[in-house]
Structure 1
């Protein structure tokens, strides 16, 4: 499981980016929250791959 966790984090980040994009016109605050969460998930996944 430890080997797959960075890939799962990158997938979750992509899912959150799609959610942020789709909610941008209706609810900008939620889109920003989803964008921040996506950045954190992608950064965590890439950091784990590079330094883990």
Structure 2
């Protein structure tokens, strides 16, 4: 798998995680926080994988 494809997949995963965090914020805050942290890790992984 090329680096560009892996970065795009990780950024797409981060988008889904951030969307899930946003949609669950009012009902399940601990889950939303966990999804937000996972999204940040996915973005960090995409940036580090590119380097």
Give the TM-score of the pair, scaled to structure 2.
0.89
CA shift digits 1:7-46 (9 cap, x unpaired)? 1001100110000000000000000000000000011001
Number of equivalent positions: 50
In structure 1, what is the equivalent of residue 20 of structure 2? 19
Dislocated runs of 4+, deviation >2 Å: none
Unaligned runs of 5+ in 1: none
> What is the Cα-based RMSD across aligned positions, in Å?
0.9
In structure 2, what is the equivalent of residue 2 of structure 1? 2
Unaligned runs of 5+ in 2: none
